[in-house]
Amino acid sequence: MKNIETADKFHLSKLLSELRDGSFVIPDFQREFEWNAWDVNDLMRSIFQDYYIGTLLLWKSTDANIKVLNCEPIRGYKDKIRPRHIVLDGQQRLTAMYIAFFNPDMPFPKRKRRAAFYINVEKFMDGFHDEAFHYDMKVNQSYLVNAEQQFEDMVFPLSLIGKDHYAALDWVRFCKEYWEKQKENEECEHSDEVIASCIEHADGFDKVLRDILNSYYITFIELDKDIDIVKVCEIFTKINSKGVELDIFDLLNALLRKDDIFLKQLWRDNEDKIEFTQDGRLKTYVLQIMSIIKQNYCSPKYLYYLVPNAKRVVKEDGVNVVKHLITSKQEFESLWQIAFDAMQKGISVISNSNEYGAIKSRFLPYHTILPIFSALLYHIDNTDYKNKIDAKRKLKLWYWSNIFLKNYSSSTESKSAKDFIQMQSWFTDEDAAPEIVSEFKRDFRNINFINQKSQSSAQYNAILNLIILNDARDWYTFDLPDYSELDDHHIVPNSWGKKNGIELINSIANRTLLTSDTNRHILRKKMPHQYIRLMFDEKGEQQTREILHRHFLSDKAIDILLKEDFGVEDFNEFLQERQKTFYDAIDTVLLAEKDVEEAPASMKALWSDVEEIEIGLRKLIDEELSKLSHNPYKEYVDGRTKEGVKSKLDSYLKKFPAKSTDDFKSFDSKLSLLTLGELKPLIVGGKVWSAFEDKFKNKNEFDFRIQQIIRFRNPYAHNNFSQINDVITNDCKAGVAWFKEILK
């Protein structure tokens, strides 16, 4: 096209110089900086691994252009600007680089403190790039200027790069000198091997820095300064419609203002309800859910039809017909709330430890599957299907098929449209299963889990979800853990893998979910034969093996790990064995046909006992806490539980319009909305435990007994009867008996 320059490029040093001089300015219509610290971290990792980070779209600045677009400097820039480039696309990336490389004196967006970004030189040079980059949200300014401590830790502050070309290279030179002096230091506690390794890493990192600064290029396209402003806005919109990563949310926010609809405010009024993740894409996902519900499709061009009275031309009986998807502000805002609530429920279901097991945002295999999953769940709940339980079973099969076959890694909008239509057919016709489901059932044993090493991999995180769904107990306490505190740890230590040059040491087949207490008290970089025998001694061999089985460690895998002369061949055999166990788990946990019609009579009787315990605990909490306060709900119930009460109450009132909030003013009526797990903190919490200590005696015993019941209660409540085995049933009976004796 005319009035556009050819693509050009900055090398990183040049780009940093432009950032330092205030050359880039941001138009008012651009969204605010919305990345999280981990997004900045990911960008740094991409740059240092020589990955392409996208092309910037710029406009040569003039005083008139800057004025008409009401431009501002990049967030955090405090000096006098010398504007040369107006940023049409690339604001998030440029701001992220400014924050990481210049460490401006300002809080990180939506945080109270600054953020500092670092590279662990040892991990980077050893090839552990996922673990090498980290950030500190509680910036210790003394650490940022304490070079000697940085040398000791082999931690490089990225903010040095922004000072000038030489500050970063000087750091590496002085780091190498520091370690060379340690050779002669008789009081040095480090071995000769460690010192030699640090010197070698410093040498290698020097070359990395020089290459990054001088040979890493960021491409850009710059529009001519004389191009008309209307055409600039059109180009911005056209690029958006062709899939370049600009935010359709902000464009719609501008388009909807003529209808007195403030999209950003709608989002702000709701965003605090979602604690699972602060992913900036969520607000766009709401629009996609709206579009799927209303017209099946959710690609950017279809989102424009959500604007009230926007014309959409469709063919009906061979004739073009003009239709309006939405006709008023009220209709738009109502559909927005429906879509937001659908997404909130979708996240709640996916993050449930008994449903899909993605207990943390980072354990979610694909964020991009949230819109279509939420829309399908909403569709099931609001359609008169004869067997909704069976429809939700099919939804699970569809979900896991797409996750394990990595079907939502790209082109998600077109897949979503196709899947939404196909799934509606399958819900009513057993023979209309999507091909992806058939392929998954047929080929899942061909998936190579051993090669899955990245924590961002869908298959990697799917296995972590599966471990949670399998009720994996903690290796230290042997109790069901607080799942929110879990993280993935090595089974065979990372240090052993580095020592032996094992590239697959980070394989998901060598990882499981453990608490930090377990890592500290049990593993502590020990070899498996050491810590497993310690577990045998403390808890007994049979019980320990049963716990390890829940983590998909078969007896054969355990026996391999118990070898005192454990070597590389043993490690490879262990990976193969654990992969087989993953296959079996997919077969039994995900693909096994479930009894979805009715619970056995014995389960129904036990369920009645569980309900009796819940009622008894509610009554006890009401009696005891009402003695301590005239308003125990305000004083003793935490914010998260209150949010849960509000959400459940809203849902209840929608089902029973004759009821009102006045029916739930009392403390006991609010307690009636809480389940067993939600009641627990109202007994064992620090403020209230003294009121119940005489009755329950021991917090750990109370927690153990309540977990026994929850393991039965949650799958029963969701009609997942096949997940309830004899062990779970007998545990629940023991827990019920304990509570009955105390509550009488």
Is the pLDDT reported for residue 571 higher than 50?
yes
Give the pLDDT score at 516: 78
Q: Quote the pLDDT of residue 242.
A: 39
Give the up-direction half-sphere exposure of residue 205: CA atoms within 13 A in the CB hemisphere: 31
Average pLDDT, stretch 222-239?
Answer: 64
What would the pLDDT profile of 204-215 be if each residue is shown by its tens digit?
A: 999 999 988 888
* Confidence category of residue 235, pLDDT binned at 50, 70, 90: low
Q: pLDDT at position 139, please?
A: 58
- Work out the burial of residue 717: count CB atoms within 10 Å of its CB; fewer than 13 is exposed, 13-18 middle, 19 or more buried: middle
pLDDT reported for residue 369: 94
Q: What is the mean pLDDT of residues 245-267?
A: 75
For the stretch 381-416, pLDDT in tens is: 999 888 888 999 999 999 999 999 998 877 778 888
Q: Residue 495 contacts by C-beta under 8 Å, 6 or more apart in sequence?
A: 525
Give the pair of three-digit tokens for residue 586: 């997919």
d(CA 408, CA 428): 24
pLDDT of residue 94: 94
CA angle 457-461-464, nearest 5°?
155
Q: Give the separation between CA 415 and CA 298, rounded to whole angstroms.
A: 10
Residue-level pLDDT at 520? 75
Give the model's confidence band at 658: pLDDT under 50 very low, under 70 low, under 90 confident, else very high.
Answer: low
Predicted local confidence at residue 114, as pLDDT? 84
- Asked whether the predicted pLDDT for residue 378 surpasses 90, the reply is yes
pLDDT of the residue at 129: 84
Q: Is the pLDDT of residue 597 over 90?
A: no
The confidence band for 228, taking pLDDT boundaries of 50, 70 and 90, is: low
Residue 240 pLDDT > 50, yes or no?
no
| Distance between CA atoms of residues 735 and 706, nearest Å | 7
Region 2-26: what's the mean pLDDT? 81
Class of residue 430 by CB neighbours under 10 A (exposed 0-12, middle 13-18, buried 19+):
exposed
The token duo for 94 is 């440029």
Mean pLDDT for 716-727 is 79
Least-confidence region, from 410-414, 455-459, 466-470: 410-414
Of 277, 293, 235, whose CA–CA distance to 3 is shortest?
Answer: 235
CA distance 537 to 544: 9
Query: Average pLDDT, stretch 141-149?
Result: 81
Cα 218 from chain centroid (whole Å): 28
